[in-house]
Amino acid sequence: DAGVIQSPRHEVTEMGQEVTLRCKPISGHNSLFWYRQTMMRGLELLIYFNNNVPIDDSGMPEDRFSAKMPNASFSTLKIQPSEPRDSAVYFCASSFIPGDPPQHFGDGTRLSIL
Protein backbone atom coordinates (compact mmCIF):
# COMPACT_ATOMS: atom_id res chain seq x y z
CA ASP A 1 0.00 0.00 0.00
CA ALA A 2 1.17 3.51 -0.76
CA GLY A 3 2.01 5.64 2.22
CA VAL A 4 1.43 9.36 2.60
CA ILE A 5 2.71 11.06 -0.53
CA GLN A 6 4.09 14.57 -0.43
CA SER A 7 5.34 16.78 -3.22
CA PRO A 8 7.67 18.33 -3.98
CA ARG A 9 10.46 16.67 -1.97
CA HIS A 10 12.57 19.80 -2.15
CA GLU A 11 11.70 23.39 -2.93
CA VAL A 12 14.06 26.33 -3.20
CA THR A 13 12.54 29.67 -4.00
CA GLU A 14 13.07 33.35 -3.47
CA MET A 15 11.50 35.39 -0.75
CA GLY A 16 8.10 36.77 -1.71
CA GLN A 17 7.17 33.89 -3.98
CA GLU A 18 4.13 31.71 -3.42
CA VAL A 19 4.86 28.16 -2.28
CA THR A 20 2.39 25.29 -2.52
CA LEU A 21 3.01 21.99 -0.78
CA ARG A 22 0.90 18.97 -1.61
CA CYS A 23 -0.16 15.87 0.26
CA LYS A 24 -2.05 12.71 -0.54
CA PRO A 25 -3.03 10.83 2.64
CA ILE A 26 -3.31 7.08 2.95
CA SER A 27 -6.55 5.87 1.43
CA GLY A 28 -9.20 5.39 4.10
CA HIS A 29 -7.56 7.66 6.63
CA ASN A 30 -9.93 10.39 7.75
CA SER A 31 -7.53 12.70 9.55
CA LEU A 32 -4.73 14.72 7.99
CA PHE A 33 -2.08 16.75 9.75
CA TRP A 34 0.43 19.36 8.58
CA TYR A 35 3.60 19.79 10.65
CA ARG A 36 6.66 21.99 10.39
CA GLN A 37 10.04 20.87 11.74
CA THR A 38 13.01 23.09 12.52
CA MET A 39 16.11 22.53 14.63
CA MET A 40 15.09 25.23 17.10
CA ARG A 41 11.41 24.41 17.57
CA GLY A 42 11.20 20.74 16.69
CA LEU A 43 8.02 19.33 15.17
CA GLU A 44 5.08 21.72 15.39
CA LEU A 45 1.51 20.98 14.39
CA LEU A 46 0.23 23.64 12.02
CA ILE A 47 -3.28 22.42 11.24
CA TYR A 48 -5.29 19.26 11.11
CA PHE A 49 -8.37 18.11 9.24
CA ASN A 50 -10.92 15.48 10.09
CA ASN A 51 -13.17 14.29 7.28
CA ASN A 52 -11.84 17.17 5.14
CA VAL A 53 -12.89 19.80 7.69
CA PRO A 54 -10.24 21.93 9.44
CA ILE A 55 -10.48 21.16 13.15
CA ASP A 56 -7.63 23.10 14.69
CA ASP A 57 -5.53 25.71 12.89
CA SER A 58 -4.13 27.35 16.00
CA GLY A 59 -0.62 26.35 14.98
CA MET A 60 -0.72 28.23 11.68
CA PRO A 61 1.88 30.95 12.21
CA GLU A 62 0.13 33.82 10.46
CA ASP A 63 -2.13 34.84 7.61
CA ARG A 64 0.53 34.06 5.06
CA PHE A 65 -0.17 30.38 5.65
CA SER A 66 -3.31 28.66 4.43
CA ALA A 67 -4.34 25.04 4.06
CA LYS A 68 -7.12 23.32 2.18
CA MET A 69 -8.47 19.84 1.85
CA PRO A 70 -10.91 19.84 -1.07
CA ASN A 71 -11.43 16.07 -0.91
CA ALA A 72 -10.40 13.02 1.09
CA SER A 73 -7.37 12.31 -1.05
CA PHE A 74 -5.68 15.68 -1.37
CA SER A 75 -4.52 18.61 0.72
CA THR A 76 -2.41 21.69 0.10
CA LEU A 77 -0.44 24.01 2.35
CA LYS A 78 0.23 27.39 0.80
CA ILE A 79 2.58 30.14 1.89
CA GLN A 80 2.12 33.53 0.28
CA PRO A 81 4.31 35.53 0.39
CA SER A 82 7.14 33.30 1.57
CA GLU A 83 9.88 34.55 3.91
CA PRO A 84 13.32 33.12 4.80
CA ARG A 85 12.08 32.19 8.30
CA ASP A 86 9.61 29.78 6.66
CA SER A 87 12.54 27.54 5.70
CA ALA A 88 11.92 24.17 7.34
CA VAL A 89 10.85 20.62 6.63
CA TYR A 90 7.09 20.36 6.24
CA PHE A 91 5.52 16.99 6.98
CA CYS A 92 2.07 15.75 6.20
CA ALA A 93 0.67 12.86 8.23
CA SER A 94 -2.56 10.92 8.22
CA SER A 95 -4.36 8.60 10.59
CA PHE A 96 -7.63 6.74 10.81
CA ILE A 97 -8.64 8.21 14.15
CA PRO A 98 -7.48 11.72 15.14
CA GLY A 99 -4.87 11.61 17.86
CA ASP A 100 -4.55 7.84 17.61
CA PRO A 101 -1.16 6.78 16.33
CA PRO A 102 0.36 5.65 14.38
CA GLN A 103 0.12 8.84 12.49
CA HIS A 104 1.78 7.88 9.24
CA PHE A 105 4.12 10.57 8.00
CA GLY A 106 5.08 11.42 4.46
CA ASP A 107 8.70 11.90 3.45
CA GLY A 108 8.40 15.65 3.97
CA THR A 109 9.10 18.69 1.83
CA ARG A 110 12.41 20.43 2.51
CA LEU A 111 11.70 24.11 1.89
CA SER A 112 14.37 26.76 1.53
CA ILE A 113 13.43 30.40 1.08
CA LEU A 114 16.32 32.55 -0.09
Q: Where along the sequence are the contacts to other proteins (CB under 8 A)? A: 33, 35, 41-45, 48, 55-56, 91, 98-103, 105-108
CB 102 to other proteins: min, Å = 4
CB 22 to other proteins: min, Å = 16
Cα 48 to Cα 33: distance, rounded to the nearest angstrom: 4
CB 1 to other proteins: min, Å = 15
Which one, of 109, 71, 70, 112, lies nearest residue 92 by Cα? 109
Which one, of 7, 11, 9, 28, lies nearest residue 87 by Cα? 11
The residue among 17 and 38 lying less far from other proteins, judged by its C-beta, is: 38
Distances (CA, A) of 101 to 29, 48, 67, 97: 12, 14, 22, 8
The residue among 25 and 108 lying less far from other proteins, judged by its C-beta, is: 108
Which one, of 74, 82, 108, 88, lies nearest residue 42 by Cα? 88
CB 39 to other proteins: min, Å = 9
The residue among 62 and 100 lying less far from other proteins, judged by its C-beta, is: 100
